[in-house]
Structure 1
Amino acid sequence: MAIVYKCRHCGNEIGKLEEKMVDTSLLGFDQLSTKDKKEMIHYTDNGDVHIQAICENCEETLGHHPHYHELDFFIQ
C-alpha cells in the first residue's frame, strides 16, 4: 500500500509514502471534515490511497493570483 500525494491543480506527484501500515491520525486525516475527506482522499483497486493536495508552485501562483481560487482548474 502506498499513500500518494498529488497536486489537485497541476497533477504532479508531491510525495509518496510506501508503508504497510500507517496511522492516519498522524497524517491529519482525522482533522478533515467528511466533505473534505470525500473530495481529497481516493482509494484505488490495488490498495493505494491518493490524496489531493496542492504543491508549492500552485500555492505560490494562487498567492499571486487570488482570483484563481474561483476556478476549479487554473492550469490548462
Structure 2
Amino acid sequence: MSIVYKCRHCGDVIGQLEQRVIDTTVLGWDKLSNEDKKEMIEYQANGDVHIQSICENCEESLGHHPEYHELDYFIQ
C-alpha cells in the first residue's frame, strides 16, 4: 500500500509513503471533517491512497494571486 500526496492544482507528486500499516492519526486524518476527507482522500482499487494537497510552487502562486482561490484549477 502506498499513500501518494499529489498537488490538486498541478498534479505533481509531492511525496509518497510506502508502508504496510499506517496510523492515520499520526498523519492528521482524524483532524479532517468528513467533507474534507471526501474531497481530499481517494482510495484506489490496488489499495493505494491518493491525497489531494498543494505543492510549494502552487501555494506560492496563490499567495501572489489570491484571486486564484476562486478557481478549482488555476494551472492549465
TM-score (norm 2): 0.99
The SS at the match of 2:39 is helix
Partner AA of 1:67 in structure 2: E
The answer as to 2:76 corresponding to 1:58 is no
Partner AA of 1:37 in structure 2: K
Alignment of 1:1-76 (within 5 A): 1-76=1-76
Shift of 1:41: 0.1
Q: Which runs of 5+ in 1 are unaligned?
A: none
Q: Which runs of 5+ in 2 are unaligned?
A: none
Query: Which aligned runs of 4 or more in structure 1 are off by greater than 6 angstroms?
Result: none
TM-score (norm 1): 0.99
User: Kindly, what percent of the aligned residue pairs are identical?
Assistant: 72
How many pairs does the alignment contain?
76
RMSD, aligned CA: 0.2
